[in-house]
Amino acid sequence: MTHWRESWRVRGTLVLKSKDGRHKLVIRRDDVDPSVFTAYFLSLTGSTTPLAEDRPSSGWTELWPDPPIQAGTVDAVRSKALPILTELPSNTGGTKFVAKPYQPAARPTVVWRIDAPSHHAWANVLEHSADRYEIRHYGDLVGHQDPGVGIFPPGMQRESNASYFESTFVDNIDEAMIVAADELGQIVQANSDLFVLRLKKDD
C-alpha cells in the first residue's frame, strides 16, 4: 500500500474586527517560516453588508502591508498592527498595502467514515485532492465532556505543546479506507479503557 505520515502544524490564526465590521486584522504563522507571525488585513468593498461569520466570503479584499508586519510573537505583531486596523475605516493612515483577491484557505472534505463496533471511536478519510487522502481519528473519552476528541494511532508523533500533529496520508481512496480501518482497530485495542462503550441499542 502507498501510504505515509506527515506532520502538520496548527496555524494559530487570530482575527480581530474593526468597530464597523468591514475591516479585519488577521495574524497567522508565516507560510515559509513557522516561527514568525505575519499580519495582514481584510477589507469589505462596496456596499456589501458584513455578516457575522468567522470565514468571510465574497466582497473581501486582502491588504498586505508593505513592508510586511512580522514578529516572533502574536502580541508583538498585534501591537504593531492594531493602530492600522483603527485607521482603515477612515482611510487616514499612511500605511502602504499590496491588494490581493481574498483567497479562503482550502479545506479537505470528509469522504468516508468508519465507526468502531465496540466503542465510540471513529476514523474520517479527508480528500485534499484526487491523489491525496488524509486519515484522522476521533473518539468520545470516558470522563471527557467534549465529544469527538482527536486521537492518534500507536507510534504516531504529537508534540507536547500540541503545535505539531502527524497524520497518515494515502494516494487513493480504496487504500485510505483500508488503512483507516486498520489504524482505528489498533487505537481501540491499545486504548479500549479510554473510550465510551457503544451500547447494543446504539445505531
Contact 180, 27 (CB under 8 A): no
The label of the residue with cell 467534549 reads: 146
Q: How far is the C-alpha of 83 from the C-alpha of 89, rounded, in Å?
A: 12
Q: What is the pLDDT of residue 11?
A: 52
The reply to whether 75 and 135 lie within a common domain is: no
Least confident of 2-6, 38-42, 128-132, 172-176: 2-6
Give the residue-averaged pLDDT of 14-23: 84
Q: How far is the C-alpha of 84 from the C-alpha of 5, rounded, in Å?
A: 41
The reply to whether 81 and 127 lie within a common domain is: no
Q: How many CB atoms lie within 10 A of CB 5?
A: 13
Whether 113 has a pLDDT exceeding 70, the answer reads yes
Whether 153 has a pLDDT exceeding 90, the answer reads no
Q: Phi/psi of residue 103, each to 5°?
A: -125, 100
- End-of-domain residue from the set 70, 101, 132: 101
Q: What is the pLDDT of residue 51?
A: 55
The reply to whether 93 and 18 lie within a common domain is: yes
Q: pLDDT category, 79, cuts 50, 70, 90? A: very high
117 CB-near residues (< 8 Å, 6+ apart): 198
The reply to whether 11 and 96 lie within a common domain is: yes
The reply to whether 156 and 82 lie within a common domain is: no
Q: What is the pLDDT of residue 162?
A: 46
Identify residue 111 by its one-letter amino acid code: V
Give a yes or no: residue 47 inside a domain.
Answer: yes
Q: pLDDT category, 157, cuts 50, 70, 90? A: low
DSSP H helical segments within the chain, as ranges? 74-87, 173-190
Give the residue-averaged pLDDT of 6-25: 76
Q: What is the pLDDT of residue 57?
A: 59
- End-of-domain residue from the set 77, 101, 125: 101
Q: Which three cell numbers stand for residue 122?
A: 471513529
Q: CA nearest 81: which of 103, 97, 60?
A: 97
The reply to whether 133 and 95 lie within a common domain is: no
The reply to whether 27 and 111 lie within a common domain is: no
DSSP label of 77: H
The reply to whether 37 and 92 lie within a common domain is: yes
Whether 90 has a pLDDT exceeding 90, the answer reads no
What value does the CA radius of gyration of the chain take, rounded to a whole number of Å?
21
Q: Which three cell numbers stand for residue 173?
A: 481512496
More confident residue, 139 or 159: 139
Q: Please count the structural domains in the chain.
A: 2
Give a yes or no: residue 50 inside a domain.
Answer: yes
Whether 26 has a pLDDT exceeding 50, the answer reads yes
pLDDT single digits (tens) 122-151: 999 999 889 989 999 999 999 988 888 888
Q: CA nearest 77: which of 9, 29, 11, 22?
A: 29
The reply to whether 111 and 57 lie within a common domain is: no
The reply to whether 15 and 96 lie within a common domain is: yes
Whether 19 has a pLDDT exceeding 90, the answer reads no
Domain of residue 31 covers 7-101
29 CB-near residues (< 8 Å, 6+ apart): 9, 11, 12, 13, 36, 37, 38
Percent of all residues in the chain with a pLDDT value above 70, rounded to a whole number: 81
Give a yes or no: residue 200 inside a domain.
Answer: no
Give a yes or no: residue 201 inside a domain.
Answer: no
Percent of all residues in the chain with a pLDDT value above 90, rounded to a whole number: 42
